[in-house]
Amino acid sequence: MHRLGLLTSIGWLLALLPFIVLDARCRSGSEPKPAGRVTSAPAAARSLQARGQFEADGASMRRVHPLRIVPRAPSRLHRVDDGRFQLVVWYVDGTTEAVRFNAHMEGDSDAGPRIYGPFTVEVALKEGVRLERVAVTNAGGDVEYTAWEGDAVPND
């Protein structure tokens, strides 16, 4: 029975050993040193998201949704370099950005006229510059399908 008591005592000692070592380190001041100065991460990317729906012939807008600012890099959904439409953003500092896109209906692969419909298009926002106006136009910019101005343009 004496052996069993000794083994039990050793078992308890082994179970407590990590805590004893930790206590000794804390008392001796040998705690790990911090990894260095923490710097703030760069500001998160923000994008402006415009959503709407064209009439099937692409000649006019059927519906538009309020603009949204999303906390991420812009999605490439619907964006193409030779798109029929463009999302144009005017900033208060006088600069503009334009992203071209298509709003083809999914599965529209017929050789005939294209069928247009819903779209979601996003553009990266410049940091620290307020938006003034946003519009959806044709690729040349001479036909404006819809525009957001004033309170309809988010800046937060």
Mean predicted confidence (pLDDT) in 13-35: 51
pLDDT for 8 equals 54
Give the pairing type, strands 131-138 and 85-91: antiparallel
Q: Are 90 and 147 in contact (CB under 8 A)?
A: no
Q: Grade residue 38 by pLDDT with cuts at 50, 70 and 90.
A: very low
Q: Are 131 and 154 in contact (CB under 8 A)?
A: yes
Residue with tokens 């082994």: 14
d(C-alpha 127, C-alpha 123), whole Å: 12
**pLDDT tens per residue across span 109-119:** 666 678 899 99
What pTM did the predictor assign?
Answer: 0.68
Positions of E strands within the chain: 47-54, 61-64, 68-70, 85-91, 96-101, 118-124, 131-138, 144-149
**pLDDT tens per residue across span 118-154:** 999 999 999 889 999 999 999 999 999 999 999 999 9
pLDDT for 2 equals 55
**pLDDT tens per residue across span 53-93:** 999 999 999 999 999 999 999 988 778 888 999 999 999 99
**pLDDT tens per residue across span 2-20:** 555 554 555 555 555 555 5
pLDDT for 136 equals 97
pLDDT for 37 equals 47
Mean predicted confidence (pLDDT) in 49-56: 95
